[in-house]
Amino acid sequence: ADSLEESKENVLWSVTGSQFAAKVVPALDAFRIPYRMVSCDITKLKQVLAPPHTVPQMEWEGTLLTDSADILKKIDEQSGSAWKLYPEDKRAAIEATEAWAGGEFNAFVLYNSWWVEEGFQASMYPKIREMVIPNWVPAAIADFILPYIFDVGRSRGFLRKRCRGILGEDLIPEGRDAGPDEGPGMKRALLAHIATLEGKLSGGKQWIEGTEEPSAADFALYGMMERFVGSV
């Protein structure tokens, strides 16, 4: 991809572990677009970010972009490359998959990385501890004081409720605690979605919507899968 000539500074605001930041950062790097990363405190997003107070947000040569899809569209607009994240002949399918990844599929990501205990301990808990407690504090002490600084239980309950609003009560019933059928039901639904994605790559396709190069759909799904495995 062609490089952008740097004029005004580009600034990207993010938080550790953001799957939507993991969507745009590889795209910015692939197109060699210069930017400075600012890591935000997850407990102070309303104080430091513009509405809707979510990440990533990017100031691109004086223009503030507050949605990851807008950042990818800006890359297409400004890069001057023949490689497009939204090629016209596939644009509708790419935008549909990108929206699904950021909506329904993201709910599965949130559920598994926040509510499922194993996923939370492997994924979000270390990130939260890293964000709010200095790294020189011994782990045992950090684990002890973290609940007094960050309301982990409330945040996990809020995220489960948010996932219910997206996925419905059939998968995530009302109530503070999960019933015995919730976990297996969520796993079956997730595996069905993954099977659908695998089907899109059938016939030797390398990219999710059959494009010649990675599209916005691929970057969107990459960010989600990174969060699943807890390696962002």
Segment 197-206, tens digit of pLDDT: 999 998 889 9
- For position 135, what pLDDT does the model report? 87
7 against 222, higher pLDDT: 222
Which of 87, 79, 90, 85 is CA-nearest to residue 1? 79
Task: Please state the separation of Cα 120 from the chain's center in Å.
Answer: 15
Mean pLDDT over residues 41-49, rounded? Answer: 87
Residue pLDDT, tens place only, 138-165: 989 988 998 888 888 899 999 999 999 9
Model confidence at 11, in pLDDT bands (50, 70, 90)?
Answer: very high
- What is the structure's pLDDT at 226? 87
pLDDT 10s digits, 179-190: 899 999 999 999
Sign of the CA dihedral running 203, 192, 107, 224: negative
In whole angstroms, give the CA distance from residue 188 to residue 129.
31
Distance, CA of 205 to CA of 209 (rounded, Å):
8
State the DSSP string of 76-100: HHHS--S--SS-GGGHHHHHHHHHH
Mean pLDDT of 4-32: 86
Instruction: Kindly report, residue by residue over 83-107, the tens digit of the pLDDT.
Output: 999 999 999 999 999 999 999 999 9
